[in-house]
Chains A and B, each alone.
Chain A
Amino acid sequence: MISDAILDVQNLSRTYTSGGHALTVLDDVSFALSRKQTCAIVGPSGSGKTTLLGLCAGLDLPTNGFVSIAGKRLNDLNENERALLRNEHIGFVFQNFQLLPNLTALENVMIPVELRGERGSEKQAEQLLQRVGLGDRLDHYPAQLSGGEQQRVALARAFINRPHILFADEPTGNLDAETAKKVVELIFEMNDELDTTLVLVTHDFELAQRTQRVIRLRGGRVADDSATVSA
């Protein structure tokens, strides 16, 4: 445990009941990340990566152990308080972009700010979309954008609240190599600009190597937790 940890995960376990059988997806996982740190969570399919991400982001509660974000224990918060915390401190980027299909690019980006009841979200969203190179696509709907463009909109949405921590789940999983490269560059650039802690779930070894730390999961347990060479 580190004293200035933005994300603190201690003895985390998650068991699901499916078809009457208990299935432990995550077993006694512990790690901590400080501000600005970048980390990749890697592992084969079914190793518990996405479950860990969901628990870290407060989307689900652990069976055992706890998660703290910015010093707040998620176990002590109710669902609405966790939602508020997500809005205040967390940004998300998903493999399949997860944009609201009936909202324009601009409106999608505005949501986190609007959810806080703040005004002036339109200008901020416009600036961010220009920053990711979509200044001319503000009024386009997700269906009218390419995969790479959709992911860039998702990036702008993730950063608009200037989050303390960004969770990215296979951000390049649905993109071709060239587009993936551009999106990765953007993630790291914007992450750097905002001093955000980055947690990246990926299969992509090369991408994982760009982070400062790689946590390998196998069978729901931490198999390896090490600093990367490039970092």
Chain B
Amino acid sequence: MPADHTSALDPSVSRSPRGSLLPWFFRMAWRDSRRSRQKLLFFSLSIVLGIAAMVAIGSFGRSLENAVEQQTKALLGADLLVQSRDVFTGPQKEFLDALPATQSEQILFSSMVYFPKADGTRLAQVGGLSGDFPYYGEVETFPTNAWTQFKRGEGALVEESLLHQFDAEVGDNIKVGELTLPILGALRKVPGDNEFFASLAPRVFLRMESLAATELLGDASLARYRRFLQFDTEAQLESAVTQLRDRRDELQLRFDTVEERKENLGEALRNLYRFLNLGGFVALLLGSIGIASAIQVHVRQRLDSVAILRCLGATSGQAFTIYLIQGAALGLAGVIAGTALGVGLQQALPLAFANFIPIEVEFAVDTWSALRAAGAGFLICMLFALLPLLQVRTVSPLAVFRRDLDHVPSRDPWLYVVYGAIAIGVVAFALSQTQRWQHGVAFAGGLAGALLVLFTVARLIVWAVRKMKWKNLPFPWRQGLASLHRPNNRTLLLMVSLGLGTFLILTLHLVQHSIVRELMPENQASKPNAVLFDIQSDQKDGILKLLEEQNLPALGVSPVVTMRIASVKGRSTEDLIKEKKIRNWVLRREYRSTYRDHIADSEEMISGEWVATASPGADVIPISMERGIAEDLGVGVGDEIVFDVQGIPVTTRIANLRKVDWRRVQANFFVVFPSGILEEAPGFFIVTTRIQDSQQSAAMQRVVVKNYPNVSTIDFTVVLKVVEGIVEKISFGIRFMALFTVFTGIILLITAVLNSRFQRLRETILLRTLGASSGQVMRIQVIEFLLLGFLASLTGIGLAVGAHFLLTTFVFKVGFSVPVLHLALAIVLNCLLTLSVGLLASRTVLKRPPLEILREQG
């Protein structure tokens, strides 16, 4: 025996000094992962999309905040905006003119505009502008020099979408009231305006000097009078704001500062950011469940190795550390890939949400935000990974001899600690992303509830399939069904991931469907779908005659008188505002009330009695009030309210409360006076009608605008199309986020199939050995995947219908209806998706000779 062979056994040879075990843990983790690395790396994909979403959104959120910070002043176009619903009064003008600021004036009102070339009309938001507004930021037009021409008073600027609608071009004419003027260019972006709302009411800008020529501004017209102010110093601005606040009751001016705008916009954007983040978080949670499931399979395959290591003297902590490192590496790989994808994805977010954001958001990766999101994602992923990893701690070294005896402690106390940490983590994240703690708890609770339902249903299905007798079914069916409850099956994971994806997407779809269905005029046959308003008293008969000539029914004629609240139950509005018990806008708003002797068919009296008429000499006038506004004002039947009807105080008593169906296209009112009181007060009329098609609509609008330029028409079929478009845009945003969950579900499906491939392989070999044809084996798998897809869809659909019912009944308050065909389609799509992904992932099991693969697996 050579001398050098014996030295290792020589008892006299002293042992080397001991060092840290840390490097060895990493070495062992690396060695042990041989032949599993590719598989583990693929499993790490489960969290890639969740991490990517969170990183992109985190960084995007920071970009949003930066953009708000940088473009603050352009948010308003001025330092201060002061506005009134009425023409500025003498004292108001005096106050404003005395302020040390450069000023621009704007009058905004709704009116029909006419495009002679296309012979088309449309309701637009007309703005007359004087001065050098905007003082900050720029008005974006096409062509770019159009704004300069506009300031010289050469014509009008028209919303780009409106030009497209009427095929109008620069140089064509537009008629606003009695004034026809050339179109100078298309309006794209105006500091202070939200392009999202501009799509509802397209803008047409004129110079103030031209406004009078339109002859549109009657006394009762619904116009807003605005002043944009630019101050030289901050102190001047602050002094002006202080005066506006202190003299609010006297001046009756509403104002808006850059700071307020910034705060409001910031809050709105933060809400968007939080909402998106919650969407990303759901994908991350699902991915983390996938990681936990993959690690569980990996750890199960390593239990023998752990027992051997324990025999050789490794403590449970040391063995656990090795697999913890593997789990962490797997999570880290997912986090790194997810972060890289997230950074790329961040470029897509501003595009996806451009319609909601009134500012330019530049793409910039915020390292800290991205790292924070990646870190949070890694933490959540690791918490989930710990659930299966903790098994390693409980492996007894005795398992090298026998695994049949109950020598493994059934529950590791650390398991409960990890469950607790996951619950705290999810709730804490949800709370950090919602404004109210109730919402955070509801989100976490809803998610936990959905997961619990999915898990429970999956368990029940597995149990039921095992318990039931399938003797009479053909062989592939029996085998396919058995696959659902075979040991180490992935049924639970697949049911949860596919079910959750189906649930999220379908809930969004169903709610969208119900809202749009509720709005569509075809569901309200014979109900009004067009409204003519701003009809002056002397124009009413003419309009009604004109409608008759056009064969259009006048379905409702409502007089409107504007008024404000002076006191409630004997207390002045000013006192009530100071008390802050009633919301400001409820007290300050302009009430557009009507008078009539009957209750409308969109209304239902819920308390008190209807008073049809009253005499002008009465001290107290009985009125009808809408239930919601009465609740806001804190009043009920019998309470007294004094209205300021254009300078004249009118004392009223609430005779009854009404429930109003606000969704109906007709004139609905908060306050209804009895006949005989307001007939002589200055006001205007609203007329509702029903048009059959766009041709009839265009013809009617043309005639009305030609004869009564001040009368505006809203064709709700067009508005509803716009609203539908907006709903579509919003749901696109939501779906965009839900897609992360769906794709994560698909990745989970692939990993689950790959994970159980070895198991399938053994069965396939056995089946083939026993004489099963490859066709039969294929049929077994097809049945298994179809069953999985079907059962997961069914569970997801059940949850979605439940959530849809709750949302439509309690949140959106629209009719609950379930489109059965859509649900059937969802089932078919889900089954096809599961089948194709499942077969694709297990194609090697089906195609290659089984022994060849077995040899590969070692």
Query: Does B437 touch A at the CB level, under 8 Å?
Result: no
Distance (Å) between the CB of B643 and the closest chain A CB? 83
Query: Does A83 touch B at the CB level, under 8 Å?
Result: yes
B401 touches A50 (CB 8 A): yes
Query: Which A residues, 75 to 92, have Cβ-Cβ distances below 8 Å to chain B?
Result: 79-80, 83-88, 90, 92
Bitwise interface map of A from 98 to 124 toward B, beta carbon under 8 Å scored 1, else 0: 111111000100011111111111011
Query: If the complex has contacts A160-B8, A193-B6, are A50 and B309 also in contact, measured as CB distance less than 8 A?
Result: no
List the one stretch of B31-39, B261-269, B598-606 in contact with chain A.
B31-39
Band of interface residues on B: 35 or more
Q: Which partner residue on chain A sits nearest B1 by CB separation?
A: A131
Q: Which partner residue on chain B sits nearest A60 by CB separation?
A: B398
User: B401 contacts which of A53, A102, A130 (Cβ < 8 Å)?
Assistant: A53
A-B contact count (CB 8 A): 140
Query: Does A190 touch B at the CB level, under 8 Å?
Result: yes
User: B17 contacts which of A119, A159, A193 (Cβ < 8 Å)?
Assistant: A119
A83 touches B24 (CB 8 A): no
Docked pose: A25 CA to B661 CA in angstroms: 80
Query: Which A residues, 117 to 160, have Cβ-Cβ distances below 8 Å to chain B?
Result: 117-121, 123-125, 127-128, 130-131, 141, 143, 157, 159-160
> In the assembled complex, which residues on chain A have CB atoms less than 8 Å from the CB atom of B313?
83-88, 90, 112, 115-116
List the one stretch of B64-72, B402-410, B497-505 in contact with chain A.
B402-410
Query: Does B397 touch A at the CB level, under 8 Å?
Result: yes
A112 touches B312 (CB 8 A): yes
A79 touches B9 (CB 8 A): no
Query: Does A18 touch B at the CB level, under 8 Å?
Result: yes
> In the assembled complex, which residues on chain A have CB atoms less than 8 Å from the CB atom of B318?
83, 115
> In the assembled complex, which residues on chain B have CB atoms less than 8 Å from the CB atom of A124?
8
A59 touches B397 (CB 8 A): yes
Distance (Å) between the CB of A57 and the closest chain B CB? 8
Q: Which partner residue on chain A sits nearest B319 by CB separation?
A: A83
Query: If the complex has contacts A115-B24, A127-B8, A159-B9, are A79 and B315 also in contact, measured as CB distance less than 8 A?
Result: yes
Distance (Å) between the CB of A46 and the closest chain B CB? 12
Query: Does A66 touch B at the CB level, under 8 Å?
Result: no
Docked pose: A87 CA to B15 CA in angstroms: 13
Distance (Å) between the CB of A15 and the closest chain B CB? 11
Distance (Å) between the CB of B409 and the closest chain A CB? 11
Q: How many residues of A contact B (CB 8 A)?
A: 56
Distance (Å) between the CB of B297 and the closest chain A CB? 16
Query: Does B250 touch A at the CB level, under 8 Å?
Result: no
Distance (Å) between the CB of A80 and the closest chain B CB? 4
User: A59 contacts which of B15, B33, B309, B311 (Cβ < 8 Å)?
Assistant: B311
Query: Does B310 touch A at the CB level, under 8 Å?
Result: yes
Docked pose: A213 CA to B132 CA in angstroms: 110
A194 touches B402 (CB 8 A): no
Interface residues of chain A: helix, strand, loop or mixed (majority) = helix
Query: Does B825 touch A at the CB level, under 8 Å?
Result: no
Docked pose: A107 CA to B31 CA in angstroms: 9
Distance (Å) between the CB of B36 and the closest chain A CB? 8
Docked pose: A195 CA to B11 CA in angstroms: 9
Q: Which partner residue on chain B sits nearest A141 by CB separation?
A: B858
B314 touches A115 (CB 8 A): yes
Q: Which partner residue on chain B sits nearest A92 by CB separation?
A: B311
A80 touches B317 (CB 8 A): yes
Docked pose: A99 CA to B11 CA in angstroms: 25
B32 touches A102 (CB 8 A): yes
Docked pose: A193 CA to B315 CA in angstroms: 29
Query: Which B residues, 315 to 348, have Cβ-Cβ distances below 8 Å to chain A?
Result: 315-318
> In the assembled complex, which residues on chain B have CB atoms less than 8 Å from the CB atom of A190?
9
Query: Does B577 touch A at the CB level, under 8 Å?
Result: no
Docked pose: A112 CA to B35 CA in angstroms: 23
User: A103 contacts which of B6, B17, B31 (Cβ < 8 Å)?
Assistant: B31
Docked pose: A160 CA to B28 CA in angstroms: 18
A162 touches B406 (CB 8 A): no
Query: Does B164 touch A at the CB level, under 8 Å?
Result: no
Q: Which partner residue on chain A sits nearest B21 by CB separation?
A: A117
B401 touches A59 (CB 8 A): yes
Looking at A83, A94, A113, which has the most chain B CB atoms within 10 Å of its CB? A83
Docked pose: A16 CA to B396 CA in angstroms: 15
Docked pose: A70 CA to B121 CA in angstroms: 103
Docked pose: A119 CA to B19 CA in angstroms: 7
Docked pose: A58 CA to B401 CA in angstroms: 13
Q: Which partner residue on chain B sits nearest A131 by CB separation?
A: B5
B310 touches A83 (CB 8 A): yes
Distance (Å) between the CB of B220 and the closest chain A CB? 86
Query: Does A65 touch B at the CB level, under 8 Å?
Result: no
| 7 more CB-based (< 8 A) A-B contacts, given A113-B16, A115-B313 | A59-B396, A80-B316, A98-B308, A100-B305, A121-B16, A130-B4, A162-B11
Q: Nearest 10 CB-CB pairs, A to B? A: A87-B313, A127-B8, A117-B18, A118-B16, A80-B315, A131-B5, A102-B34, A124-B8, A59-B397, A143-B858
